[in-house]
Amino acid sequence: MKTILPPHLKPSQKVEDPATILEEAREICKGTQNGSFVTPGSKYNNCFAMAQPQVSNKPLRYFVINPITASQVAKDFSGLVVINPRILEKDKSSKVMSLEGCMSYPFRPEKKVKRYAKIKVTYSVIEDLKNPKVVHVESREIKDFTAFVCLHELEHLDGKSIFTN
């Protein structure tokens, strides 16, 4: 079982072959659902998504969406595993305050963070971890809660967090 590690301070590495991350992605997805990543005594008892660098000493550029607590986020991305995400555009007029917590800091209170509520991203996605036959490359505009989740996880992929920015 994986445990949450202190945040990495360097950017994660690009995933070259999505087939190489399947086993780990399944484990991360399971952990987001059953709460096995939760630190005892933590103020957080579940998560919406988990960036791979939060649970690995070899940070790779992907995050896994919890299909139970963030089913709309999974629908917006058309899958559960978002690979090599990159922001193409930020709608500067859409900046709003977001109150966020972080599983990497289980005893810290939520923090107000300014986020873009509308962004355009490019990424690859694994739709289904049980039968992962197809990886689609997409470019999509995402907004509101899905954008907040994506931006939060991108910080982890870039070696940052809401508490270290």
pLDDT value for 93 = 95
Q: Does residue 30 sit within a domain?
A: yes
pLDDT value for 134 = 58
Which pLDDT band, with edges at 50, 70 and 90, does 115 fall under?
Answer: very high
pLDDT greater than 80 at residue 41: no
Task: Determine if residue 25 is left, alpha or beta; phi over 0 gives left, psi from -120 to 50 gives alpha, anything else beta.
Answer: alpha
The CA distances from residue 41 to 64, 74, 105, 150, 162, in Å, are 24, 28, 12, 26, 21
pLDDT value for 133 = 62
Q: What is the pLDDT of residues 42-80, one digit of tens each?
A: 777 778 999 999 989 899 999 999 998 899 999 998 889
Q: Does residue 41 sit within a domain?
A: yes
- Domain CATH for 59: 3.90.45.10
Q: Does residue 1 sit within a domain?
A: no
Q: Does residue 49 sit within a domain?
A: yes
Q: How many domains does the chain have?
A: 1
Q: What is the pLDDT of residues 70-95, one digit of tens each?
A: 999 999 988 899 999 999 999 999 99
Give me the DSSP letters along 2-20.
Answer: --PPPPPSSPPBP-S-GGG
Q: Does residue 162 sit within a domain?
A: no
Q: The domain containing residue 128 runs over which residues?
A: 18-157
Show the tokens assigned to 29: 């997805």
Which pLDDT band, with edges at 50, 70 and 90, does 141 fall under?
Answer: very high
Q: Does residue 165 sit within a domain?
A: no
Q: Does residue 53 sit within a domain?
A: yes
Q: Does residue 4 sit within a domain?
A: no
